[in-house]
Amino acid sequence: MTKVVVGMSGGVDSSVAAILLKEQGYEVIGLFMRNWDSSLNGDFLGNPDLNQPICPQEQDYNDALAVCEKIGIPLHRIDFVKEYWDYVFTYFLDELKKGRTPNPDIMCNKYIKFDYFIREAKRLGATYIATGHYAKIKDGQLLRAKDQNKDQTYFLSQLSKEQLDHVLFPLGDLEKSEVRKIAEKYGLVTAHKKDSTGICFIGERNFKNFLQNYLPNLPGDIINIETGQKIGRHIGLMYYTIGQRRGLDVGGTKEKLFVVGKNLDQNILYVAEGEDNPYLYSDSCILEQVNFNCLDRPTNITAKFRYRQQDYPVHLQYLEDGRIKVEYLQPIKAVTPGQACVFYDQERCIGGGIIQEACKEGRKIWYLL
């Protein structure tokens, strides 16, 4: 019997993934990862769970244990607290220091869920690992999930072909509503549990206060990039992202204000008026940390620049240093350094890269000066 280790998060998706695999005849083992320690990691400011009788992470473990007992599979537990700090959280902080907008979920998948987790699964004698991600694998290729609203291939774009060869995604052909119905049928404690939100494995935090645990606040000027006029003060460049409208606390303008750039050396936040302001748009971008999970290297495909964003047709130009220039067929709004650009060949997710800079008419634009 083929052995599969399922990443049990304490949520409904991983619970149903385990059920489906058991029904398909696999020998299923549950494995719960503990990746964050609030006390050890100095997570005090902005943490709403400090005075709770049981932290959410321990409640998740208890829920995972209850599910495993209900469906008759063993549950193991392992700590990757140090690995998460070294490979995910340090990256997250370093990107913020650069003025960029990182996506820790993507790096968590690359280094923790589909690297260290796979190593532990192999130690337990498993042929495959499985998770509750909404995605498909067919003939070794990563495909979008049936439930387009829940599709998570965007977050899996940094996985290699070798990593995907060891993975099963049991929920790929199900809608979220169907997953909950299966959990209800089995009477699982997770059947109506709300989906986790917030930073990967850390959870809900007051972002401003949370970051003060690790990075100093450096207030500075907000300047209208078109007039050069100082119109307010920001609370720290790390709290803002390109295209952001809310939270600027600046009034008296004719149209809504949007973040269009940052000057790290002078600690300036640049804004511009109007949803369709030209400063919000670029016509190409440069990607670093490029990853493909397939052997072919297409040039004319589609791409997403944010999760749940629509697909845009693009042309890829492969640079000699390993980076990629992504040329858009139409100007795109708020393409943001630090975010992932993910490639699609119709239903197939073939990889992606991290946006290093956005360009307009062949020149780097205002996003990071």
Angle 3-156-141 from CA coordinates, rounded to 5°: 70
Q: Which residues contact 363 (CB under 8 A, 6 or more apart)?
A: none
108 catalytic, yes or no?
yes
Q: Are the C-beta atoms of residues 172 and 136 closer than 8 Å to each other?
A: yes
Q: How far apart are CA 238 and CA 99, in angstroms?
A: 6
Q: Which three-class secondary structure state does DSSP give residue 335?
A: coil
285 catalytic, yes or no?
no
- The number of angstroms, rounded, from the C-alpha of 327 to the middle of its chain's C-alpha atoms is 23
Q: How far apart are CA 25 and CA 182, in angstroms?
A: 17
Q: Are the C-beta atoms of residues 38 and 50 closer than 8 Å to each other?
A: yes
Rounded alpha-carbon distances, angstroms, from residue 136 to 164, 215, 250: 10, 38, 45
Q: Which three-class secondary structure state does DSSP give residue 75?
A: strand
Q: Which residue has the tokens 């959870």?
A: 203
Rg (CA), the chain: 22
345 has which bridge partners? 348
Residue 239: phi and psi, rounded to 5, are -90, 0
Given 55, 68, 108, 341, the catalytic residue: 108
Q: Are the C-beta atoms of residues 241 and 336 closer than 8 Å to each other?
A: yes
Nearest to 20 by CA among 2, 6, 1: 6
Given 55, 68, 200, 285, the catalytic residue: 200
Catalytic (active-site) positions:
108, 200
